[in-house]
Amino acid sequence: MPTIKDEKNFLDIQMGTYEVSFNKKYRFIALMNDFTLGLEFLIGSVLFLFESTQTAGTILFIIGSAQLVARPIIKIMHAFFFSRISNKTMDKKISSED
């Protein structure tokens, strides 16, 4: 079973003797979103070719489309995290000037 270690700047996933490190949680989430999005559209496209599996293909297209909406939301969450840090830094600068 993989273990996930959450450091300040990295997300480390250990699988046996291998370790995968991602700089920031949101980058990992965005990569996993893009990967599953691609798989859903690929599998959905194949399923859509056959009349008996068109409904399953359509469902995968809908799920993939929802994930396309999630991409900018993940980026906004990432940007909000950084803006929150910069606001604290600004508060410290303002209080030190007084």
Quick: pLDDT tens for 55-80: 999 999 999 999 999 888 877 776 55
Q: Which residue range is the domain that position 55 belongs to? A: 25-86
Asked whether residue 56 is assigned to any structural domain, the reply reads yes
Q: What is the pTM of this model?
A: 0.57
Asked whether residue 76 is assigned to any structural domain, the reply reads yes
Residue 90 has a pLDDT of: 47
- Taking a C-beta distance cutoff of 8 angstroms, is the pair 44, 58 a contact? yes
Asked whether residue 55 is assigned to any structural domain, the reply reads yes
Eight-state DSSP code of residue 13: E
Asked whether residue 58 is assigned to any structural domain, the reply reads yes
How far apart are the C-alpha atoms of 55 and 8, rounded to whole Å?
44
Asked whether residue 7 is assigned to any structural domain, the reply reads no
pLDDT at 48 over 70: yes
Residue 29 tokens, joined:
């989430």
- Chain CA centroid to CA 31, Å: 5
Residue 61 has a pLDDT of: 94
